[in-house]
Structures are given as C-alpha cells and as structure tokens.
Structure 1
Amino acid sequence: MVISKVAWRFVPLLVGSAFLAYLDRVNVSFAALTMNADIGLSAAAYGFGAGIFFLTYVLTEVPSNIILAKVGARIWLARIMFTWGIISLMMVFVRGEMSFYILRALLGIAEAGLYPGIVYFMSLWFPAKYRARMGSIFWLSIPLSSVIGAPVSSMFLAMDGLLGLKGWMWLFILESLPTIVMSFVLYVMLRNSPSEAEFLTREERDWLTRRMAGEADAVAGGHGHGILAVLKDVRVLSLGLICFGAVIINYGVNFFLPQIIKGFGLTNMQVGFVTALPSVAAVCGILFFGYISDRTGNRRGFVAIAISAVAICLALSTLFPDPVAKMAALIAAGFFMFGYLAPFWAIPHRFFTGAALATAIAAVNSIANLGGVVGPYVMGYLRETTGSFEDGLLALAFGAVLVVPLLLVLRAPQKGDIGAAAVSPEV
C-alpha cells in the first residue's frame, strides 16, 4: 500500500527529529534544577530566558518555511537540525544571565521552521483522510521526549563532577550530539516530493503525485493564494491565537513542572520519573484525539474539548495541597494537553495549498509560539511574587479558555475544499 510505504519511510525520521527538537528545547527545565544556582539565575530571569527562545523563533519562522517551500525539505530540515544541535551544545558555556539569554535567542533562530516545515512536508505526501492519524503519530514525539527525556535528563544531572564538568553541562552535551547526527540522516533519507520517491514503483509514484495534485487543486479552487493575502487572512490569525492559548499552558507548565514536583520533597532522580507521568497520559490523549478526529471528520470540536479540558484540570490541580492529588490532576491535564494537535493541524490544509500553505502553517505556528514567551514568563513572575506556582497555573488556564470561542470564526469547509473532495481508491 502506497501510504504505508511512505509512512514507514518518513514518519520514524520525522518523529525522531521532532523528539530531539522538543528535548533540546525544554531540557533547560531539568538543567535549571542545578544550573540556576550555579550561574545565579532568578526564577524571573530563568522564565524570561526560557521564553526568549520563542521570540526569535517566531520572528524567523515564516521566512524559514518560505525558503523550505522553495529549496525543498531535504536540505532545509537537515540544515535546521545541524545548526540548532551546534548551538544547543554551546549551552555548556553559559555563565550568567546575558549568555543564557543570547544562546536561547540563537537557539530559537536555528530551530525556527522545523515543526511547520514538517507539517508542510507531510501535506505533500499524505492525502487529507490520513493527516490527523499520521499527525497524531508525529505529535507523539512531544510527550515521548518527556517520557524518555525526563528520566534520562535526571540521570545526566547525576554525572556532576565527571571530567570536571557539571551535571547540567553533560545534559546539554549528550542531548545535542544525536541532533547533529540526525541532520545527516535526514539529508540522506528525505525526498522533496512524490515524484522523487525512488522507493515507490512508477505506478505508485504516479498515483500519489496525481492524488496530491488533485487535492491541492480542490483546495485552491483553481486559484492561488498570495503570501500577503495569507498573512492577512482572519482564519490564519484565529488559528494562531487558538494555538497560542494551548501553547501558554504547554510551555508554562513544562518549563516549571520539574520544579513543581521537586517541591514535593523528591530527589532529582525521582523528579525525572514523576515528571514523565503526565507525558505518558499525553501519548494516550494524542492517539485518541487523532483517531476520533479522523473517524468523525470533526476538527474544531475536538480542539475545543482538548483545550477546555486541560484548562479545567490545571485549575483543579491548584485546589489540592496533597502531592498525590495534585499530581493526579496534572496527569489528567497531560492527557488533554497535546490532544488538540492532530485535529488542529489538519485544519489549515482545508484552506490553503502550496507555498500559501507553507506560509499559513508558519504564520500560525509563529503566533502560537509567542505563548512560549508568555507562559514561562508568567509562571516565573508569579512564582517570584507570590512564592507559589498556583497563581501561575490559574493564569495559564484562564488564558487558554479565552481563545476557545475563536474556533467559531473558522468557517466549515465548503464543497470545493479538500475535506469535501472525492477520495480516490488506493493503489
């Protein structure tokens, strides 16, 4: 089956790349357990530095995806991984607030475009009816990076003093090197379009090329979308703000979750394993929402359910002083935290195609990732001013709920849209 061949060729590579990206993006949350004291970072300074990554990220994301659409995913995704791997490795040289800010800012520039680039790449290879399911597999990379990365990161911290290096330095070294290696693997294995797929038979290549071209024509309705028109489209702004509401919870919680759990009186090693529990729940949530979204064709409804539910669970966690009850609420929040991803990222493909789709995905992701600036800063600021994490968690939950009504702005796909297009039988 054509789709199976494509999936086995690319999806493991994309999952692995995104796994390493998210790991390199948030491993600073574990490094902070010892690094902050070593280099003199306050909670507010750490929150700002953790978030500044997203400021430079969003400024360069749209240009990155436009370039990817022109030069192809093969070389551009490999370039992204190589440069961010090198900069992540340089985090071992952080010595104070300014160097922390500078390297986090450079990391944002280096990584810009990876996630929207992969989403765009998948739109070139997978027909509409498969996108949420394939997307759910791809988005598993985020919680898996915590399930695996959390205990592994805590073990790297335990290497403190080996060869004269701090444990947090070993963490950055050992989690950056696989990224650099993966950049070369991507360059060798990826292909830019179905027409270049030598791993398919000629009949399979022709079928997939025709299928993807037909769906692109159905979305465009026979007309292209200019880049400026896409950037001004109210649907792009609405999608960006909706995702922003989800992202402030994602990064606001995950950058501080090890510190929240550390407050239960656990060791660094125990923190690593307990921190992984919400991510185990998130794996189940992503698969559930991706599957049910494809089965029902309902994208907006399940996005609304996931974002609303995680906000409710997060708010409930602040009511429990008991660590076990609080952790249970955070695990429940984990189930819904990434559930919106697969149905959400299946929505832009219904409105745009080609370079316009690449621009729309990058623009939406850019707006959304401003939540990566806001979420950690709010958590750090309220932690420093109130002495607890509860007010920060409530603020994140409230911000997420505010964006849910924006889903009403997104019109249902019309007859000419991809969701309504006739589905050809598979080869």
Structure 2
Amino acid sequence: MLAAESGGALSLTTQEPFMRRAPALSFLLVTVFLDIVGLGLIVPITPALLTAVTADPSQAVLWSGLLGTAFGLLQFAAAPLLGRLSDRYGRRPVLLLSLGCLGVDWLAHAIAGSPGTLLVFHAIAGACAGTNTVVNAYIADVTPPERRARAYGLVGAAFGLGFVAGPTIGGLLGAVDVRLPFLAAAALSFANLAYGALILPESRPGDRTTPLTLRATNPVSAITAILRRPVLGRLAQARLCADLARMIHQATWAFFLTYRFGWDTTHVGLVIAAVALAGALFQARAVGPVVRRLGEKRTAVGGGLLSVTTFFGTAFASTPGQLYPLLTVGVLASAGGAAAQSWISGTAGADEQGTVQGGLSAIGAVAEAVVPLAAGVAFGALVAYGKPGLIFVVAATLAAASTVLLALTPAGESVRTTV
C-alpha cells in the first residue's frame, strides 16, 4: 500500500507486491534515460559552445577539462553525503534535488556568457549529482532480492538507449543553434523533476537517528569503511577494476577504430549506436532469466570473463571481420554488471543502502576524473609506437583482476556492520 508520511509524501512499504511498485521503477528508468539523454545532447555541442564563449579554441579545450574535473571532484566530495542524507531523510528529496541542480546547470550552459560562470554551475551540479546513488538505493528498497538483477538490467538498458538518443538529438539541435541542446536538456530535467514531484512515492521514510557525522559523510572515511568490510570491500574493489577497464575502453574506442580501420565518424557512430542498442535490448530482456538460472556470482564472474575476452581480442583485431564477433561477446558481458550491482545491494542493510551507494559513487567519481585523461595520454603514446591495441590489454588486465576478485568472494550477504 501507499502510505502517507508525516511530511505528506507517499511511501512504499517493503511488503508491497513488486508489481504495485512498477510505476516507481518506471519513473527511475525514465530518470536514468533522460539523465543520459541530457548528457548526450550536449556531448557533440560542448566544444562549439566553449569555443564561442572563450573565442579561443585552445582555451576552449582547457576550460572543457576544467569543467569535467570540477564536476568529478565535487561529485567525489559530496556523493557519500547525498547517500547518507537519503538514508536519513528518504530517497525522494535527494533525487529531486539532483534533478533540479542538473536542470539549473544545463540552463546556465544555455545562457552563460563566460566560462567562469559555467565552471561554478557545473561544480554545483557535480556536488548534487546523486541520481545514480539514489536510483540504486531506491531499487534495493522496492525490489525483492530475486528481482534486483532484472531491475538493474533495466537500468542498464535505459542508460544504453539514452546513450544512443542523446548525441543524435543533440547533433540535430546543435545544427540549428549551439545553445539549443542545452535548453532541451534543461527542459528534460525540469520536466522529470515535476513528474517526480507529482507521482514518485518515497521508498522508505528515512531514519532520523542515522548520524550525519564527518566520519560517515566525508569520502575518504566512507570509502575506507566500505573497503574494511570483507564481502562488500572485495566487491567494491572488483567494481572499481571493472569500471577502470570500461572507462579506458570508452575513452579510446572511437580513436582506435579510426586509427586501426580507417573508419570515418559516421561509421564509428553507427557501430557505437548499434552496440549500445543491442546491449540495451539484451539487458532489458535477458539479464533477469540469466541471473535466475546461474545466480548473481556466476553471472558476474561469467560477465567478467567475457569482458576479458572482448578487450584482449580487440587489442589484436586486425580486420572488422574479427571485431564484430567480439562486439557481440561484449554485449553478452553486460549481464555481469547488473548481477554484480544486485550482489552489492544484497550485502548492505536496508538502512544503509544510500550510504553504501554513495561511497561507491565516490570511488567511481575519482575514476571518471582520472581515467579519460590518463587513457588518452597513454593511447597517444602507444599510437606513436604503432601499438594502439595495447591500451586494451591494460583494460583486459583490469577486467581479469575484477573477475578474480569476484570469483574469490563468497556468495551471499556479508555480516551487517556500521558504515
């Protein structure tokens, strides 16, 4: 049943049948989709906007790096606090705050006349970037353990579809006016905010006894507390290794295809879109049945092995005919990520899902801030030596480390300890 809380918000009890929670899950999927569409809208346009604002292409590149770094650093600093706030006050207000800040950031991009203004608003958006943290915690609240892998697979599917739609729409709107994609992204964020404010129930009322101490909310302590837990700590390490491998791939993939096979931007874009679509369909339809049959651990380990195969094979692929089967294997590997996320949620208590997800988001924010630049520099050096594929050997090694950690982790929930 939907129950009214003292503050007037609606709440979903944990005993409510899963199908009655479907509207909330649908909103979360729409939120993830629109979040990624909004980000994708501005990807092909940001260089042109910053060039127009700075009137200097070299300065535009510098400011682009500063914007990304500021966002990542503030997200790292604030993610544990946002997660803790969602445990104390509920998921709904934190999620709505994140959506509102993101909309303000895109609106600032559309109207700002100086790069300094953009930096301030983008940093604030990074500090409020709690969408992934809260969505993952919310799903753990409203979804029984046996259905979580399917739910996280649907989140992955929404991400993939947004990844395809965003850049396509952004490129079309940007051809009309360089600021139009940012207005569209802001409109999507504010529309989603209004939609959530009207229909999204609270998944758990929160616990006012959850302390907001410096130890619990600063990123270093939050990450340390996670890593000290025997099962959760190892799963967090495995996830970090897998994320590092994925980000290396994302940062260098388009450049590799252009260098190795001589593909133009249209060809590269079509291949990326096709892989993202295939991955979205697979995660939406197949992840749930696969995890029910194999279990979370075996699915996560199997997905890791497939990732290793994909990265290592890509490193030495010399023709497109060798590449396409590897892309198919990579699509199948996506089941591992949803299974691992479901496994992680099962190691955390109901009253600490936000805290745990916030700590994991902080770990991911560090990787997001460091890996693209480091991978780009390394790829450039490898191209100079005529060995660009070796960057994917690095990714394969990290994926292998993640798989080993998963294989060595005992299945089942860890002992509940205080974070």
Note the alpha carbon deviations across 1:247-286, whole angstroms, 9 max, x for none: 2233333355455556666665665433211212212442
Measured in 1, the distance between the counterparts of 2:145 and 2:93 equals 25
Secondary structure of the residue aligned to 1:248 is helix
1:289 to 269, 287, 290: 287
Distance 2:20 2:194 in 1: 22
Residue type of the partner of 1:174?
A: A
TM-score, normalised on structure 2? 0.76
Q: 1:414 to 1:366 in 2, by over 3 A?
A: closer
Alignment of 1:188-203 (within 5 A): 188-193=198-203
Residue deviations 1:21-48 (CA, integer Å, cap 9, x gap):
2334455543367568773269898677
Deviations 1:338-386 (A, max 9, x none): 3223211221343322322321222233223433223312222123434
Aligned to 2:24: 10
Q: Does 1:346 align with 2:342?
A: yes
Q: Per-residue CA shift, 1:299-325, capped at 9, x if unaligned?
A: 122112212322321232232344x34
Aligned mate of 2:303, from 301, 306, 314: 306
Q: Which residue number in structure 1 is paired with residue 109 of structure 2?
A: 91
Q: Which residue of 2 aligns with 1:77?
A: 95
Matched residue type, 1:289:
V
Partner of 1:395: 394
Q: Does 1:181 align with 2:191?
A: yes
Identity value in percent = 14
- 1:89/1:176 contact within 8 Å kept: yes
Q: Which moved more, 1:90-99 or 1:22-31?
A: 90-99
Aligned pair count reads 377
Distance 1:262 1:180 in 2: 37
Seen in structure 2, the aligned counterparts of structure 1 residues 131 and 314 have a Cα distance that, compared at 3 Å, is same
CA drift of 1:82 comes to 1.0
Per-residue deviation at 1:117?
A: 0.9
Deviations along 1:37-74, whole A, 9 cap, x unmatched?
77326989867754653332222111101111222222
1:136 correspondence with 2:153: yes
1:246 aligns with 2:263: no
How far, CA to CA, are the matches of 1:230 and 1:181 in structure 2?
Answer: 35
Letter in 1 for 2:107: L
Displacement of 1:178: 0.4
Residues 355 and 136 of structure 1: CA distance in aligned 2, closer, same or farther (over 3 Å)? same
Looking at structure 1, the residues matched to 232 and 147 of structure 2 have their Cα atoms a distance apart, in angstroms, of: 22
Partner SS for 2:411: coil
Contact kept in structure 2, 1:261 and 1:275, CA below 8 Å:
no
The correspondence for 1:358, drawn from 338, 354, 358, is 354
Q: Which runs of 5+ in 1 are unaligned?
A: 197-225, 418-427
Q: TM-score, normalised by structure 1?
A: 0.74
Matched, 1:317 2:314: yes
Q: Which residue of 1 aligns with 2:125?
A: 107
Partners of 1:372 and 1:301 in 2: CA distance: 27
Tell me what 1:413 maps to: 412
Q: Secondary structure at the match of 1:353?
A: coil
Is the Cα contact below 8 Å between 2:163 and 2:276 reproduced in 1?
A: yes
1:13 aligned partner, one-letter code:
F
**Does the 8 A contact of 2:50 with 2:63 survive in 1?**
no
